[in-house]
Structures are given as structure tokens and as C-alpha cells.
Amino acid sequence: MMSYADVGLQRAARWVYDLPEAPKLQYLQQVEGRWSPYRSVASLYLWAAIDHGYVDSGRDLASFVVAE
């Protein structure tokens, strides 16, 4: 289960999908269907991205992807 009201998870989901800023925090509701049935695991990864400073780094997710 995912906490849709969690502001940190909302911010991280917005960062992952490079979504425009919206007045209502509904980023998780927009993308959580893609994560089913692994919503709890997705939450852990989103929190790890926050904890490691990726979300607030000012860089988008693509800049962290290593090309092989």
C-alpha cells in the first residue's frame, strides 16, 4: 500500500516522471498504476532517492542513468 498523502513521495514521483508542478499533489495517483503490484517497493525506492539527495539535486532522473 502506498501513502498518497505523503508529500515526500509526491515530490519524488514528480521528479521521476518530470511532471509539471500542480497545485494539488496528485502525482502518485497519476503514476501508481504503473507500479502495481509493487507499490510498497516503489515507495522504498522513492524514499531512497530522497535520502540520497537525488530528488533535491536539481538534476533530472535521466542525468543519473549510466549509458552502457
The helix-helix angle for 39-51 and 7-16 (nearest 10°) equals: 90
pLDDT confidence of residue 68? 44
Query: pLDDT for 52-64, tens place per residue?
Result: 899 988 888 887 7
pLDDT confidence of residue 47? 92
pLDDT confidence of residue 51? 92
pLDDT confidence of residue 50? 93
Low-confidence ranges of the chain (pLDDT < 70): 1, 23, 66-68
Quick one: 22 exposed, middle or buried, by C-beta within 10 A (0-12, 13-18, 19+)? exposed
